[in-house]
Amino acid sequence: MFTSSIKYRELKSKFFFYIICIFSFLAMVPLFLILWELLKKGYRQFNLSLFTETAPTSMDAMLAKMSDDLIPGGILNGITGTLLILGIAIVISIPIGIFAGVYLAEKQNSFFANLIRNLTDLLQGIPSIVVGIIVYIWVVRPMHSYSALAGSVALSIMMLPMIIRSTEESIRMLPVTLKEAALALGGSYVNVVFKVLIPSAFGGLFTGILLAISRVMGETAPLLVTALGASIVNWDFTKPTSSIPLLIWEFYNDPNLSDLVWSSSLLLLLIILVINLTAKSISKKWKIQ
């Protein structure tokens, strides 16, 4: 009686173990299917000119298709645009995000900290297109021009919650003794924050920032109404600028250019995968002891 009950339990345990294994595997299948599909459809166009030339016009593509050639041109204007827009977004969101995060970690239960924490969570839930439209009213209209800057403001708003929360978490994970020791050595509070807390939690901060970047990198909707897109390489942040997701949207809408959708998507996915893997390895290396 007793042994059979144990056997039954062991069997049950095994059964559920395998069920969980199967479902975990199923959860990963879509990623590999997506990668496979993109590789299959995108490898032909995934060449050097993808990085060195700007997007082709519909006619170039049509002529190339008629003679069965590869579509000429690449997405250089999208790559540089993504770099410019993300660069400014990082400059805007990092200081705000880190200072807000430090505040939340240091004044955990004050009224203001709770307020800010809740508002940050709400900010995370705002749909990206709504952010885009608000930034259109805040930045595009007063500046009288669609611009890379407007796109950056939209993206930085979307990056903020993640940076704030990851900063808060990493600083809270530091042992209290670290802060106490620093203060005991006579460091001023400002010094302790800047020279002990932030550097010690740097791994966590950096991971949060990288994840925030990869989260907004593929955003299209907010950029459509703020950055507009451009067919040339543009480094002027007050002018309309393209980005990789905007180009993918344009290619999708033009029957002659639709082949380029796959190689551009593949590139975007690869960049985001690399950022994610970097974030993972950094968080491992800098793990707080």
Q: Which residues bind other proteins (CB under 8 A)?
A: 57-59, 62, 84, 87-88, 90-91, 94-95, 98, 140-141, 143-146, 194, 198-199, 202, 205, 224-225, 228-232, 234-237, 239-240, 250, 253-256
Q: List residues bridging with 216 in a β-sheet.
A: none
CB 26 → other proteins: shortest distance, Å? 31
The CB-of-205 to other proteins minimum distance in angstroms stands at 8
The nearer residue to other proteins, 71 or 98, going by C-beta atoms, is 98
Minimum distance of other proteins from residue 195's CB (angstroms): 11
Q: Specify which residues 228 forms β-bridges with.
A: 241
Nearer to other proteins, 46 or 154 (CB): 154
Closer Cβ to other proteins, 224 or 266, answer by number: 224
Nearer to other proteins, 46 or 100 (CB): 100
**Which of 31, 26, 151, 160 lies closest to 93, judged by CA?**
160
Q: Which among 160, 155, 114 has a CA at the least distance from the CA of 244?
A: 155
State the nearest-atom distance from the C-beta of 94 to other proteins, in Å: 6
Closest to other proteins by CB, 172 or 254: 254
Helices 202-217/260-285 angle, 10° precision: 170
Token pair in block for residue 200 = 């010690």
**Least distance CB 194 / other proteins (angstroms):** 8
Nearer to other proteins, 39 or 172 (CB): 172
Minimal distance in Å, beta carbon 178 to other proteins?
A: 17
